Structure 1
């Protein structure tokens, strides 16, 4: 049996690794706050991460690309980026480190390598910061507020200016709103500060004023009184679900565009990464971000349809319970949803199967769907049973999805999991709307069964923000 390295040498090596990780974290934060350059690691956020979290992401990157990528590799690339004069951008340091490993052209000259890779980095033309108003402050609204404020940076993209709710606004209400934003039973503490400005009916989030506005009707609000103009309204109330109702927002003063965080009738239902480019914000005023389940399954279905063709299939979503269900048995407008959510598995319906066709017209009428709500507060699973037009193997399917998780138009949407022990609590806090469980794939010639996990709150919220940036035309240069 081979004798392992001396224990003291291991301790010293680990200390050096952590020292390099701390330097890497400092560069990540300096680039973000000084130059508005955001580094990610295979689409995983790096801002405000601890050393242990970064090292876990490095371990995932190493396994994902099957190459010995280390924290030292990432650090050298980050140092090189720091030396270059780059515009506001979002750069995948995992992809850069992987490509650096494959390339021998520049040797150890990481600055020359990065300079060549990012030679097309230009300042995006016409980017103007966009005022954002959250209409509603529930589960999705608060997660959007958190993410918007954490990623505010220099304020060159989306700026959260106000939150609209119903009912009186007083110190007690502000205190409760601030508490719910600061502490979350599922997603943990907000990595920032939240203070109350009762005199001005506002929350001070990370030192920035966010007005709290009380209104019963969206058309009655004059946002210009708060210094807000040409705002993007993100409606997360679920109260307005068609074009006519959503158009009421546009009658308010200071409103430019509207985005609803639910499926809607009469407006484009968008899954960012799949069909957002087909809907021009210069000509469309109201958008829908579809549902969390639609955002989970559509990217994977697009890959399969484009490469194999889909004859037909069925979607079963095992979904976390939501606020729409009852906490204890009581009357409900829908059958079964009246039964205690935390005690029962509840069969209910989902429109996600039909909704996919709005993003991928070729799948119209080909998918049936149903849902089972289960006693977990967050973290869901979509099971797709599909009949393909091509014979495949499990290895074929997994290799195809992995390729699209690494490169192409869907890298923000698809996360490829290689974990043998993946369960629902593991996917809480993942920004990708589709987490492909490669270990669970079943293939029998033309029949496949695939499992797609999704954080129905956090992952979906990031899709909403991606779409919001498209609508607001504030997308930076990206390198994925």
Structure 2
């Protein structure tokens, strides 16, 4: 890849996360979205982008091209990764933002279509080259990686919390529950789905679910492998999520104030991903945030001698920003390889 030109990005899936990726990329000078694959009609995709964008007037529709002043993105009516000819667009990387195509076979389909590298926005189902969370394990990225995951919004928030706290404290084990906005794969009305609870109406119920973060945690933070149980409560909120984490520390002298100070220092160390809020915020206050973790200082509690309970907020826009950071990371590795050859 020529380091003098923008990263040529392809996006599959123009749902909420895909649109956020597009909007953030459009505001940058180092990334150009050259193609978007989605089953939706071009005019409706454009309409949805404008309905959510901070500056909707920046986005125009010209036939099957979504346009800004600096880029033209071809809209392709595509249903599966195997149908998309990425080689036609000479992409450097594809972000699969569907949340559906998580298997090795799906990622191989992107590669077979001409994508040099595919990055999925979710945790994978099976084999993958790397799970990367910027500012935690970027150093593990290898230029030979072809199938990559940027984890998930919940996993990223949890890993940032654990990473920062474990630099100062010994965390023996823990439990995380994400109080999560309902998702597009849930039913509006009771409807037979993949399991009993997810068959119930999302806007009418609090629905307990499992979460894959615990299974993949050791791939990102090896010292936490098997130490943190993770679960989900999907609630009748459209956007904004809460990370409720209880940790067991080996040092019984650690206070809630100590934890907050460490998190404040962590926010200064990772200013693009983490911030600390001192106000009594609620879920709607985090909408539009590009942070992966908004640590809630007022939510920190000590229970007994070794238990610390913390709260943190996040939404999908922060994850969209991290996906672009991962794309930039691999573009940098490609440039280093070219320079060395």
Per the TM superposition, whether the score is higher than 0.5 is: yes
CA, structure 1 residues 147+323, in 2 after alignment: closer, same or farther (shift >3 Å)? same
Query: In the alignment, which residue of structure 1 is the partner of 2:339?
Result: none
- Structure with larger RCO (C-alpha < 8 A, sep 6+): 2
Partners of 1:163 and 1:146 in 2: CA distance: 12
Partners of 1:276 and 1:335 in 2: CA distance: 38
Q: 2:139 aligns with which of 253, 270, 277?
A: 277
Residues 402-425 of structure 1: CA deviation (Å, up to 9, x unaligned)? 111112xx3322111111x21111
2:257 aligned with 1:384, yes or no?
A: no
Q: Cα distance, 1:190 vs. partner? A: 3.6
Query: In the alignment, which residue of structure 1 is the partner of 2:319?
Result: 460
Query: In the alignment, which residue of structure 2 is the partner of 1:316?
Result: 177
TM-score by length of 2: 0.91
Contact 1:132 1:231 (8 Å CA) reproduced: yes
Partners of 1:271 and 1:223 in 2: CA distance: 25
2:52 aligned with 1:193, yes or no?
A: no
Q: Which runs of 5+ in 2 are unaligned?
A: 335-341
Q: Cα distance, 1:266 vs. partner? A: 1.6
Partners of 1:326 and 1:238 in 2: CA distance: 16
SS in 1 for 2:117: strand
Q: 2:31 aligns with which of 158, 165, 168?
A: 158
TM-score by length of 1: 0.65
Query: In the alignment, which residue of structure 1 is the partner of 2:225?
Result: 364
Query: In the alignment, which residue of structure 2 is the partner of 1:68?
Result: none
2:291 aligned with 1:403, yes or no?
A: no
SS in 2 for 1:332: coil
SS in 1 for 2:10: strand
Query: In the alignment, which residue of structure 2 is the partner of 1:130?
Result: 7
Contact 2:34 2:91 (8 Å CA) reproduced: no
Query: In the alignment, which residue of structure 2 is the partner of 1:40?
Result: none
Contact 2:86 2:110 (8 Å CA) reproduced: no
Query: In the alignment, which residue of structure 1 is the partner of 2:338?
Result: none
Partners of 1:177 and 1:140 in 2: CA distance: 13
Query: In the alignment, which residue of structure 1 is the partner of 2:337?
Result: none
Partners of 1:341 and 1:206 in 2: CA distance: 39
CA, structure 1 residues 256+417, in 2 after alignment: closer, same or farther (shift >3 Å)? same
Contact 2:95 2:120 (8 Å CA) reproduced: yes
Partners of 1:190 and 1:128 in 2: CA distance: 25
Query: In the alignment, which residue of structure 2 is the partner of 1:436?
Result: 295
Bigger drift between 205-214 and 355-364 goes to: 205-214
Q: 2:85 aligns with which of 212, 216, 222?
A: 222
Bigger drift between 381-390 and 437-446 goes to: 437-446
Query: In the alignment, which residue of structure 2 is the partner of 1:415?
Result: 275
Query: In the alignment, which residue of structure 1 is the partner of 2:196?
Result: 335
CA, structure 1 residues 261+232, in 2 after alignment: closer, same or farther (shift >3 Å)? same
Partners of 2:246 and 2:210 in 1: CA distance: 17
Q: Cα distance, 1:436 vs. partner? A: 0.6
Q: Cα distance, 1:207 vs. partner? A: 5.7
Partners of 2:135 and 2:196 in 1: CA distance: 35
Partners of 2:246 and 2:84 in 1: CA distance: 47
Partners of 1:287 and 1:224 in 2: CA distance: 19
CA, structure 1 residues 474+379, in 2 after alignment: closer, same or farther (shift >3 Å)? farther
2:259 aligned with 1:259, yes or no?
A: no
Q: 2:18 aligns with which of 141, 146, 155?
A: 141
Partners of 2:127 and 2:82 in 1: CA distance: 19
Q: Cα distance, 1:216 vs. partner? A: 4.0
Q: Cα distance, 1:217 vs. partner? A: 4.4
SS in 2 for 1:357: helix
Q: Cα distance, 1:355 vs. partner? A: 2.4
CA RMSD of aligned residues (A): 2.1
Equivalent residue runs for 1:175-190 within 5 Å: 175-184=43-52, 189-190=54-55
Contact 2:157 2:293 (8 Å CA) reproduced: yes
Q: Cα distance, 1:305 vs. partner? A: 1.9
Residues 367-393 of structure 1: CA deviation (Å, up to 9, x unaligned)? 112111111101011111111122301
Q: Cα distance, 1:354 vs. partner? A: 2.7
